[in-house]
Amino acid sequence: MKKTSTTPNSGVSSKVHVPTIVCVNKATVALGVDFDALIAAMQVFVDRHVAPVWGTPAKLVKSTHLLPGHWAMVFLDHADHAHSLAVHDLTPDGMPLARVFVKTTLKHKQRVSVSASHELVEMLVDPAINLVTMHPRSKLVYGYESADPVEELTFPVNRIPMTNFVYPTYFESFHKPGSVQFDHLNALTKPFQIHAGGYQGVYKEGKWVALFGTPAKKKRFSREDRRGHRSEQRAATKRKRTAAKHMAAR
């Protein structure tokens, strides 16, 4: 197992839990980026960009298999590949697991590094996929997803593209437009804003739906294979709880 170094000073308290995230490549096609270089870039992405803002440090390591007690990020061909290898929403011992579908990503002419960093920051911010927030002037419940609203914006880390992500201030409606920074690239100007290339999952009238930054984004989104994505996992969890309530009421 090859380990990558971490930056000792990320501005995060030493009392904060630092999960180890095991990175496993099971994809049968080239990622379009060297796997070791990708892990190293994602470590810098966490240390220098995500953790100082969100207080979510992590240690990324390379492995050929999942390790007990550790979080995981697994690179697979597509959702059907995940099913065939029995890679589910959690590791076998119940730890958070992010899946990056390589063939699906490349099919839509997207970069694996951006998809991987997207999954990484969202897993760090909401590892159990159960955090939500409410807009005081709306009846909508917003999923706490940190990359979706700005998902088509990127910046280089070690010359490898990484995803943009929102800041905690994005979910704080009391901030006036332009008063603080709402995302890493400073593309947004107010809370709950959705960038032209982004979307936001909201709970509305008993089910999870997506709001889009533009009609063009909605059209692109409709062509994607969304199976196995966090938004689908969040909706599936809600469906399971609803079903369980119905069964208990019988």
pLDDT of residue 89: 76
pLDDT of residue 243: 35
pLDDT of residue 81: 67
- CA dihedral 79→143→146→109, nearest 10 degrees, is 40
User: What value does the mean pLDDT of the chain take?
Assistant: 87
Tens digit of pLDDT at every position of the chain (250 positions):
444 434 445 555 567 789 999 999 999 999 999 999 999 999 999 999 999 999 999 999 999 999 999 999 999 998 876 655 555 578 889 999 999 999 999 998 999 999 999 999 999 999 999 999 998 888 899 999 999 999 999 999 999 999 999 999 999 999 999 999 999 999 999 999 999 999 999 999 899 999 999 999 999 989 888 787 776 766 665 444 433 343 344 4
CA–CA separation, 38 vs 48, rounded Å? 15
pLDDT of residue 225: 81
pLDDT of residue 48: 98
pLDDT of residue 32: 96
pLDDT of residue 138: 85
Domain count for the chain, please give it. 1
pLDDT of residue 237: 56
The whole-model pTM stands at 0.86
**31: containing domain:** 2-249
CA–CA separation, 186 vs 114, rounded Å? 18
pLDDT of residue 226: 75
